[in-house]
Structure 1
């Protein structure tokens, strides 16, 4: 029951946030002004798993939004939500850090369509593999 409540709350948070997050990039040429819609594979909600991670940290929901030119990431775990810091996006790749129980965890991910893969690295657990599937889309 708690997981479904958290997922519904996460979905509602994502829905309200996306109402205000522009998904268009305006491109300009010297001859004409052309509006170009650019699909952003990163934006949305991702159900993910981390192979070998301690229980409670081995799966969750990653929410990625874009407000103006700024991306934000939030990791929703069974014990609560943690906001990403130092979020950097290049194309379909995102890196950020999260603070888990006083330890900085570095995350590097790449989106390919509805699939997400990458790694998390922390001092106590080393490097672990992350895989995910998009469950909430901005479309």
Structure 2
């Protein structure tokens, strides 16, 4: 593959990233003075373009404490080189030109960055975090 074609593919992939997100990483913990609970401390590691995608028709039902939950495989697409992805980072959709109901949705990254020489985007699996 020639470099020009790869760069054109990356530019096209980024054009499809119509959402904005912030990705945070847990860097420590602190105690909430009001509640006494230990809470995580976050650092923003990425703030920019993304695309939320349903990966494929794959739903899995789990029973937790007598409650049935459905987990759907999803992915977040990010520009190549956007940031060094870590499992456990948290993604929050902060803007969406195509679907305002995505704003505020939160996900946990469940896959390290894909390792692919000719990637046009980083596509990583995420789990939805219900409020």
Normalised to the residue count of structure 1, the TM-score between the two structures is: 0.29
Q: Which has the higher contact order (CA 8 A, sep 6+)?
A: 2
Q: Which has the larger radius of gyration?
A: 2
Normalised to the residue count of structure 2, the TM-score between the two structures is: 0.30
Higher strand fraction (1 or 2): 1
